[in-house]
Amino acid sequence: MIHAVLHDSKDTVAVAVVEGITAGMELSCWNMEEDKIITVKATQDIPIGHKVALVNMNDGDTVFKYSVDIGKVVAPIHAGDHAHVHNIKTKRW
């Protein structure tokens, strides 16, 4: 089963594509660019459509989704964490 999808190998987050992801689950994430599966253990519940971190990120790091810079980290994020507005902000403001 595929739990999350990332479009590009440089992506630091993947998008959850199934409901019911809970902390402790081993997630299968499909890397579409390389057509391979990578795994990450969810450290928090991840709602469908939300992002799961694939790598550890620190304050100020750039977050990539769909190979696009979607913002900067404003609170430390660990691989498997729920990545959302509480720990990522736009760089525009």
Give the tens place of pLDDT for each residue, 23-78.
999 999 999 999 999 999 999 999 999 999 999 999 999 999 999 999 999 999 99
45: how many CB neighbours lie within 10 A of its CB? 14
**Token digits of residue 17:** 């594509």
Which pLDDT score, from 0 to 100, does residue 93 have?
Answer: 74
CA separation, residue 30 to residues 14, 15, 73, 86 (Å) = 9, 10, 23, 25
Contact predicate 6/29, CB 8 Å: yes
CATH number for the domain whose boundaries are 4-90: 2.30.130.110
Indicate if the pLDDT at residue 92 is higher than 90. Answer: no
Domain boundaries, the chain: 4-90
